[in-house]
Amino acid sequence: MFLDYMPILLQGGIDPNITLDYLLLGYVVMWVIALFYVITLHSRQRNMRQDIALLKQLLEENDKAE
């Protein structure tokens, strides 16, 4: 379907390299977003593990006090 419009785009003076640049920019933006998301998940998981360790320590201290 897209190939049907390709001659029209070329005749209209639109440079296909411009659209390629936008495609590459889109891929870069998506990779940056994905990388940021993975880093955020890693940070949350590390904080959760620290919270669990603190809760275990508090429970052990509470059990010893009783």
Residue 64's pLDDT is 87
Question: pTM for the whole thing?
Answer: 0.63
Pair 10, 16: CB distance under 8 Å: yes
Residue 12's pLDDT is 59
Residue 65's pLDDT is 83
Spell out the domain ranges in the chain.
Answer: 2-65
Greater pLDDT, 47 or 12: 47
Q: CA of 59: how far to CAs of 6, 45, 47, 64, in Å? A: 68, 21, 18, 9
The closest alpha carbon to 45, from 57, 56, 53, belongs to 53
Give the mean pLDDT of 26-38: 97
